[in-house]
C-alpha cells in the first residue's frame, strides 16, 4: 500500500511495514509515478509501504509522459540525459540526489511511519538511480568489512542512508552511476554530472568485476521497449547472476499495469524479501 492510505477507522495500516522508496523516471514526478504504480502498489498491500521521492531538477515532460500527463507538472529529473541539461559538478549532482532522497524519507517519517527502509523501486531513469544507490550501499558495506566493521568519518557525517537490502529495476539502463566518485573510480560507471560514459570501458576493469552489483536486484523488461538492449546491458554486464532476477513481459516503456504482468513482479519481490530477511 502507498504511504498515506487509511482504513475506515482513520488509521494507516502501513505505518509499521517495511518501506520501499520509489523513484520516478526522467521528465515526470512523484505524483505521476504513484499513479503509474497503482496496480503494483495494491498487489504489495499488507507487505510493504511505498513512499515516493521527487527528483531535484526541473525538466521538460518526458515523451511518454506528455501524451497522458501533460497537465500534471511540474516535471522533474534525477540526472542529465540531454546535453542541454545543466552540467553540475560531481559533488553537487550527488548532493542534489541525496537531498531529494533524504527529504522523501523524512517526509514519510513525519507521517508517522516507522518501518525499516529496505528497498528501492525505480522506473527508467529512476531505475538506473535505484541500482546505483544499491551499488553505493554495496561498496560502503564492502569497505566497512575491510575496515573491521568501522564506519569511516566521512560516512558518519554525510547523512546518506546505505542499508538498502534490494532494488526493483523497472526498465533501467546501463551504465550504473558512480555516486561516490571521490572514493571509487571505474571506467564502467558514468559520472553523475555526465549524460553517460565519456570513454570506452577499460577491459581489465571489466574483467575484475568491481563494477558488478551483487546485492539482490529484480529487473523488469518490456520486450517491446525501444530501450530493451540497454536494459539487458544493465542486467547482463552490471549484475551478478547469483543475485539478480529477470522478469520479462510483453509491453513497451511503461510500468506494468495488467494483473497478469504485475503478479510475476510481485512474486519476485516477495521471494527476494524473504531471502533477505525483510519478510
**Residues designated catalytic:** 124, 225, 253
Which segments within the chain are labelled E, that is strand? 19-23, 49-53, 57-59, 75-77, 117-123, 166-170, 217-222, 244-249
- SS3 of residue 82 by DSSP: coil
Q: Distance (Å, rounded) from C-alpha 135 to C-alpha 138?
A: 5
Torsion angle of alpha carbons 33, 14, 274, 131, nearest 10°? 30
In sequence order, what DSSP letters do the residues of 183-199 get, joined into one string? T---TTSB-TTSSS-SS
CA distance 145 to 38: 39
Single out the residue of 124, 274, 132 nearest to residue 190, CA to CA.
132
Query: How do 75-77 and 117-123 pair as beta strands?
Result: unpaired
| Contacts for 229 with CB less than 8 Å, ≥ 6 apart | none
| CA pair distance 8, 126, nearest whole angstrom | 33
Beta bridge partners of 220: 170, 247
State which H helix or E strand residue 204 sits in: helix 203-208
Q: What is the distance, to the nearest Å, from the Cα of residue 236 to the centroid of all Cα atoms in its chain?
A: 18
Element spanning 148, H or E: none
Residue with cell 507538472: 73
Amino acid at each position: 500500500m502507498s504511504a498515506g492510505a487509511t482504513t475506515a477507522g482513520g488509521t494507516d495500516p502501513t505505518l509499521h511495514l517495511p518501506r520501499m522508496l520509489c523513484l520516478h523516471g526522467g521528465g515526470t514526478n512523484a505524483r505521476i509515478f504513484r499513479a503509474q504504480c497503482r496496480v503494483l502498489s495494491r498487489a504489495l498491500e499488507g507487505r510493504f509501504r511505498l513512499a515516493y521521492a521527487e527528483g531535484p531538477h526541473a525538466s521538460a515532460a518526458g515523451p511518454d509522459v506528455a501524451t497522458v500527463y501533460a497537465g500534471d507538472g511540474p516535471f522533474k529529473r534525477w540526472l542529465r540525459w540531454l546535453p542541454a541539461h545543466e552540467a553540475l559538478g560531481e559533488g553537487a549532482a550527488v548532493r542534489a540526489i541525496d537531498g531529494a532522497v533524504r527529504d522523501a524519507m523524512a517526509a514519510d517519517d513525519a507521517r508517522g511511519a516507522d518501518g525499516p527502509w529496505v528497498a528501492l523501486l525505480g522506473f527508467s531513469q529512476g531505475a538506473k538511480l535505484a541500482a546505483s544507490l544499491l551499488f553505493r550501499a554495496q561498496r560502503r558495506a564492502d569497505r566497512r568489512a575491510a575496515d573491521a566493521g568501522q564506519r569511516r568519518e566521512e560516512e558518519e557525517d554525510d547523512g546518506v542512508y546505505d542499508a538498502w537490502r534490494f532494488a526493483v529495476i523497472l526498465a533501467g539502463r546501463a551504465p550504473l552511476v558512480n555516486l561516490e566518485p571521490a572514493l571509487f573510480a571505474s571506467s564502467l560507471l558514468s559520472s553523475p554530472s555526465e549524460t553517460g560514459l565519456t570513454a570506452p570501458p577499460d577491459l581489465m576493469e571489466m574483467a575484475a568485476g568491481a563494477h558488478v552489483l551483487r546485492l539482490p536486484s529484480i529487473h523488469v523488461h518490456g520486450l517491446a521497449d525501444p530501450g530493451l538492449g540497454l536494459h539487458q546491458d544493465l542486467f547482463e554486464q552490471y549484475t551478478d547472476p547469483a543475485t539478480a532476477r529477470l522478469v520479462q513481459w510483453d509491453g513497451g516503456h511503461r510500468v506494468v499495469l495488467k494483473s497478469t504482468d504485475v503478479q510475476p513482479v510481485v512474486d519476485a519481490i516477495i521471494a527476494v524479501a524473504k531471502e533477505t530477511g525483510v519478510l
